DNA sequence: TTAACCGCTTAACACTATTTAACAGCCTTT
DNA sequence: AAAGGCTGTTAAATAGTGTTAAGCGGTTAA
């Protein structure tokens, strides 16, 4: 089953606090990956599909800010919450500017933590919501109008069927990122059974044909995972 | 009580609370679909004609906000009530802006829940009622007067037959959104049998002919779903 | 009263969208 | 490198739609 779970990477050198955070978040239904220092943290990030990072600022081997920068290098959209001592608060405020970031000063209550996490998740959901209702997407030289079920490049115009349309909309929403096969099936076909899956493959072929003139547009398969729309 | 035909999707991971909600709502005459997590919730929504969603915010696999977003993607007009812990109240208030949304903090009484549900249903009925009795619709440069069964653009005037009129009224009420084929049949023809369905296709053709002068007005078919009136 | 008309339904046929099937090729694991 | 599952592609079968025109019952006007 494709985990649409929210996975949180927790990097905290204090063993007690780390365990406590991990347990609490697991109870709340999150997948948790717990690491004790910056280096292990980076490995943890690479190995899993992390949705959100909870990073201690002061840690051995590699501090939280540095780790955050490295993570951003790998996937720029991952939101990060920093954990730090109260005494460093002023310092912290200037330490990051990315809109996805947030911070909490120790000591903190689990409720406060949950508020921050929920706030971030909502921010992300809102972004996705906007994408869902976006009027037009740019796919290199093509314009895609989901509401009109239409693709245009110069004189070229192509009406899309509803399945083509919804599938392409999804790919555009996650442009550059892999859309999970089962997620796509559930969203477009309403069921992720075998036959719909094959049907989707047929539609991927159709979409590829539409864009075959343009070498810079590719729909790439990620074996066993799904597809991504890539524009060079 | 006219709760008979209203189907409520309840997604709640706490088994006791879920059962309790379900039983209570059934006693009140609602159809209830109960699911225990976000993924099952989405499937439940796809499988049935859901009129209203009652979603726990914090759930395993997929949280309530994410689920709501996906449901909105499938049918943007479905009202959602979120269930969440008291401690997150302030946070919640800002978390959603859709007029159809509402929230309740745990613990709550069943009476409070019923009040919320009734309020939402009243709001929806009122909106539909207003649209139903709307005196005129703007369809790009055309004016459509359902009561007069008349369409006007400049000199051009076209009297509509009652079937044309009711079908166009429906399309206008859901302007930009797909009107479900069977819904339309039941509303305009009173029965969604095969022959009425073919009859409706004939009327769609008639309506298209009326607007064929104007490239910006389209009646688009959504295969296997229905039709939408789209004005660019 | 009958002929013309009108609104709607039914039939017929062409066409389109989607699913299913079949087979070839590819990726990952052992 | 062989096996098995996953993907790519094409073509067929099925299901849904678009359009035109004939048919049918009811109303209107000579």
For A18, list phi and psi in degrees, rounded to 5.
-60, -50
Condensed to tens digits (0 to 9), the pLDDT of residues A199-222 reads: 999 999 999 999 999 989 999 999
Alpha carbon B51 to chain centroid distance? 7
Region B145-149: mean pLDDT is 88
Q: Do B63 and A29 touch (CB under 8 A)?
A: yes
pLDDT at residue A193 greater than cutoff 50: yes
pLDDT reading at B162 higher than 80: yes
| pLDDT 10s digits, A89-139 | 665 655 555 545 788 887 888 878 887 887 787 777 777 777 777 889 999
3-class DSSP state of B215: coil
- The C-alpha atoms of residue A206 and residue A202 are separated, in whole angstroms, by 6
Quickly give A162 CA vs C8 C1' distance in Å.
30
CB B73, CB A132: distance < 8 Å: yes
Check residues B7 and A4 and name the one with the higher pLDDT. Answer: B7
Mutate to test the interface with A, among B11, B43, B66, B225 (most CBs of A within 10 A): B66
Angstrom distance, A223 CA to C25 C1': 14
pLDDT of residue A4: 44
User: Which domains are seen in chain B, by residue range?
Assistant: 7-131 (3.40.50.2300), 137-231 (1.10.10.10)
B21 — pLDDT class (breaks 50, 70, 90): very high
- In angstroms, rounded to a whole number, what is the distance separating the alpha carbons of residues A203 and B50? 28
CA separation for the pair B117, B103 (Å, rounded)? 10
A77 CA from C11 C1′ (Å): 58
The minimal CB distance from B60 to the residues A29, A125, A128 is found for A29
Query: A201 at the B interface (CB within 8 A)?
Result: no
* Range in A119-133, A166-180, B126-140 with the lowest mean pLDDT: A119-133
- Best CA proximity match to B227, nearest among B188, B186, B161, B174: B174
Is residue A81 reached through a cis peptide bond, with omega within 30 degrees of 0 on the bond before it?
Answer: no
> pLDDT tens across B102-116, in order?
888 887 888 888 988
Check residue B172 and give its pLDDT.
92
Sign, Cα dihedral of A90, A94, A99, A101: negative
- Candidate from B62, B73, B88 with C-beta closest to A118: B88
Residue numbers 125-184 of B with CB closer than 7 A to any atom of strand C: 159, 161-164
pLDDT averaged over every residue in chain B = 85
Left if phi > 0, otherwise alpha if psi is -120 to 50, otherwise beta: which for A76?
alpha
Partner B, chain A 156-175, Cβ-Cβ below 8 Å:
161-163
- pLDDT tens digit string along A138-154? 999 999 999 999 999 98
Could you tell me which residue, B196 or A46, shows the higher pLDDT?
A: B196
Q: What is the structure's pLDDT at B74?
A: 76
- Count Cβ neighbours within 10 Å for each residue of B88-108 and write b for 16 or more, e otherwise: beebbeebbeeebbbbbeeee
């Amino acid at each position: 089953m494709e985990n649409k779970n929210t996975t949180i990477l927790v990097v905290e050198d204090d063993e007690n606090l780390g365990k406590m955070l991990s347990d609490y978040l697991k109870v709340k239904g999150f997948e948790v990956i717990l690491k004790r220092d910056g280096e292990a943290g980076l490995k943890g990030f690479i190995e899993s599909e992390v949705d959100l990072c909870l990073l201690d600022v002061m840690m051995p081997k590699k501090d939280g800010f540095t780790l955050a920068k490295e993570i951003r290098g790998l996937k720029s959209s991952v939101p990060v919450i920093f954990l730090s001592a109260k005494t460093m608060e002023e310092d912290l405020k200037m330490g990051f500017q990315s809109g996805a970031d947030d911070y909490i000063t120790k000591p903190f209550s689990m409720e406060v933590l949950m508020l921050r996490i929920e706030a971030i998740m909502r921010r992300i959901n809102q972004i996705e919501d906007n994408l869902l209702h976006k009027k037009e997407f740019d796919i290199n030289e093509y314009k895609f109008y989901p509401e009109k079920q239409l693709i245009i490049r110069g004189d070229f115009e192509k009406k899309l069927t509803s399945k083509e349309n919804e599938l392409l909309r999804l790919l555009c929403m996650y442009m550059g990122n892999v859309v999970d096969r089962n997620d796509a099936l559930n969203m477009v076909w309403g069921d992720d059974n075998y036959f719909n899956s094959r049907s989707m493959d047929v539609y991927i072929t159709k979409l590829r044909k539409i864009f075959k003139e343009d070498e810079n547009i590719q729909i790439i398969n990620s074996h066993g995972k799904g597809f991504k729309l890539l524009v060079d």
